[in-house]
């Protein structure tokens, strides 16, 4: 079993004055070649910060304080800024929820694609242009040769996301990090983009996709394995079929149970009471215990580690302690 991307004990802190928020706390997972791994959780759970930490694209107030991120055995956290610049867009690429903020509004689509191809693949200008047309075609943009000279604002949201995907796959990256790639899109457009991502995953067999999302339906449709985050930590991970059929962590169980499309019609949904905790003041012991229905006397005092429940499936919950 090869490991394409191996994240171990990754810890990222945000500081503002005396306040330290450990937004990502000893997060470990692996992504295999050709795999789509879902990183799911609610807002503020640290899933996006995990993605940005892997890319080393953090704001100045944030710092990676521990752990390692190995891409094919290479620790990205020890790379120089210049080396990272080469790796980003080359070996790892990222797409975002809002494509407009990640595209340059004053350059045409063609110029942005050509720039990436010349920088990372050392192509001549005419070759890069031809490749750009091929890429736009691949992501399903109609009349690609003509659209090359359009500006991002001339595209719709769905088309912009396609463009961003074209830029991201331009250098056939080993790892693609997709942060809420369909959240801002309408449902029929979302279906188109999900289909495109699935095609890319089967055609570029070796690319591993880390899909960051809050949407369990998107995970169910696209992922092979799932990692569930809560309050900066991984609480459960496993095969997608098992997570949906037999979730082990009470948080995963509750989240899946509260989806209206899985619940009965009109009955009360089993909601999770309370709120996601503040990253600067996590509860003691298990961070989910104040909201957990199964909590018992040890939960507020003992911090659970990830316990294997079946091969390849683990849950950080004292219920599974032996």
**Residues found near another protein in the complex (CB under 8 A):** 42-43, 156, 158-159, 186-192, 194-195, 214-221, 223, 240-241, 244, 254-256, 258-263, 265-266, 268-273, 275-276, 291
Structure tokens at 269: 């949904």
CB of 22 to another protein, least distance (A): 20
Spatial CA neighbour of 173 closest among 210, 147, 129: 210
How far apart CA 25 and CA 93 sit, in angstroms, is 23
Residue with Cβ nearer another protein (110 or 247): 247
Residue with Cβ nearer another protein (89 or 232): 232
| Residues in contact with 157: Cβ distance below 8 Å, sequence separation at least 6, in sequence order | 99, 100, 184, 185, 186, 189
Residue with Cβ nearer another protein (83 or 186): 186
CB 143 within 8 A of CB 41: no
CB of 106 to another protein, least distance (A): 18
CB of 47 to another protein, least distance (A): 12
Residue with Cβ nearer another protein (55 or 240): 240
CB 198 within 8 A of CB 209: no
CB of 282 to another protein, least distance (A): 16
Residue with Cβ nearer another protein (234 or 256): 256
| Residues in contact with 230: Cβ distance below 8 Å, sequence separation at least 6, in sequence order | 41, 42, 45, 251, 276, 287, 288
Q: What is the dihedral of CA 156, 159, 165, 169, to 10 degrees?
A: -140
Look-up of token digits 């989806």: 259
CB of 270 to another protein, least distance (A): 7
């Amino acid at each position: 079993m090869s490991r394409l991307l191996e994240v171990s004990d990754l810890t990222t802190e945000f500081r503002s004055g005396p306040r330290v928020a450990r937004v990502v706390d000893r997060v470990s997972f692996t992504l295999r070649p050709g795999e789509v791994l879902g990183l799911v959780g609610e807002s503020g759970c640290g899933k996006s910060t995990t993605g940005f930490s892997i890319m080393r694209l953090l704001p100045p107030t944030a710092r990676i304080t521990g752990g390692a991120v190995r891409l094919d055995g290479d620790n990205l956290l020890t790379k120089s800024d210049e080396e990272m610049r080469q790796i980003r867009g080359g070996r790892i690429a990222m797409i975002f929820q809002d494509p407009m903020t990640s595209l340059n509004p004053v350059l045409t689509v063609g110029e942005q694609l050509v720039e990436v191809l010349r920088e990372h693949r050392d192509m001549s200008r005419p070759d890069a242009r031809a490749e750009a047309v091929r890429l736009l075609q691949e992501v399903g943009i109609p009349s690609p040769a003509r659209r090359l000279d359009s500006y991002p604002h001339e595209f719709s949201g769905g088309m912009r996301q396609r463009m961003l995907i074209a830029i991201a796959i331009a250098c056939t990256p080993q790892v693609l990090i997709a942060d809420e790639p369909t959240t801002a899109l309408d449902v029929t457009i979302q279906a188109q983009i999900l289909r495109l991502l699935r095609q890319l995953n089967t055609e570029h067999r070796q690319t591993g996709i880390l899909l960051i999302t809050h949407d369990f339906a998107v995970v169910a449709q696209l992922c092979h394995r799932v990692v569930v985050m809560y309050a900066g930590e991984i609480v459960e991970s496993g095969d997608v079929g098992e997570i949906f059929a037999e979730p082990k962590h009470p948080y995963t169980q509750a989240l899946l149970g509260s989806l209206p499309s899985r619940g009965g019609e009109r009955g009360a949904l089993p909601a999770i009471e309370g709120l996601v905790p503040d990253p600067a003041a996590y509860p003691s012991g298990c961070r989910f215990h104040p909201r957990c229905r199964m909590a018992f006397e040890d939960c507020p005092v003992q911090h659970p580690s990830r316990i294997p429940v079946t091969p390849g499936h683990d849950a950080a919950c004292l219920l599974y302690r032996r």
